[in-house]
Amino acid sequence: MIDLHCHLLPGIDDGAVDLAHAVDMLHAYAEDGVETVVATPHLRGDFPAVIPAELAGRCEAVRMAAAIDGNDLRIVPGGEVSLTWALDVSDDELRAVSLDGLGRDLLIETPPSPMAPGVDRALFAVALRGYRVTLAHPELSRSFQRAPQALAELVRRGVLLQITSSSLQRPTRSSGSATLAHALVREGLCSAIASDAHSPGPWRPPELARGVLAAARTAGPARAEWLVTDAPAAILAGDPLPPLPSEAPTPRGRSWLRRRVGV
């Protein structure tokens, strides 16, 4: 599995507090079946310690510390980019926080007021700088919960959506974020499930597999697996997304999810 969104880098935002914390997160990821994590610290004004030019080096420092304990997870640099920050910085800074530094894909944090006038134009202004935009955890936005058709329109215009594993695990009868997350999976509108992990646990842990299992109940194992394997791999590489699987599981053998949970 690939986790496109986590706050792994220690001491620079509201994620891992120190290097030991970060290594513990990586061990939890390994136990969960994750093979690649994308370190996406917040890029916004209230986290001045996040310096774009330092992110690749910080990823390597965490990787080396984890390797001492025998953990060989791949760590890829990126950022969870505030839309206002993205519009104000140089091309070099924006490229440094793109996924894997390739200058092709950006993970953009869903704005606090996503339905405010001009937000869609701002998203497409970022796209005009040469980036495919993935919108992080839009299901958490009350505005999008009230007007999901706005998300469908963004997807129609080329924006990708990343939903959070924990949203899929909540009961839909009492959670607007769960209701929207499952609808996005069911309708084939999201392109990735990620953990948005901030700590080894219990607060916002690196837990991806349970969310994938919940997605499988909604849309089938093949589509759930696609959301943490083929699709995020294409996003990381800057490639077109592969075709979305049908709801039926693929006939060739047992998928990762089927092997893991026995479905």
Q: What is the CATH number of the domain that holds 168?
A: 3.20.20.140
Mean pLDDT, rounded, of the chain:
92
Asked if residue 95 lies in contact with residue 66, where contact means CB atoms within 8 angstroms, the answer is: no
Number of domains in the chain: 1
Does position 246 have pLDDT exceeding 90, yes or no?
no
Alpha-carbon distance 7 to 239, whole Å?
Answer: 24
Token pair in block for residue 236: 């990381």
Residue type, 231: A
By residue range, what is the domain housing residue 90?
A: 2-261
Asked if residue 207 lies in contact with residue 165, where contact means CB atoms within 8 angstroms, the answer is: yes
pLDDT tens by residue, 65-123: 999 989 999 999 999 999 999 999 999 999 999 999 999 999 999 998 887 888 899 99
pLDDT tens by residue, 191-239: 999 999 999 998 899 999 999 999 999 999 999 999 999 999 999 999 9
Predicted pLDDT at 247: 64
pLDDT tens by residue, 137-157: 999 999 999 999 999 999 999
**H helix runs in 55-147, sequence order:** 55-68, 83-88, 91-96, 119-127, 142-146
CB proximity list for 252: less than 8 A, separation 6 or greater: none
Residue type, 123: L
Does position 258 have pLDDT exceeding 60, yes or no?
no
Q: Look-up: residue for tokens 């993205």?
A: 86
**Average pLDDT over every residue of 233-250:** 86
Q: How big is the chain, counted in residues?
A: 263
**Using CB atoms within 10 A of its CB, is residue 42 exposed (0-12), middle (13-18) or buried (19+)?**
buried
**Average pLDDT over every residue of 43-57:** 97
Residue type, 46: D
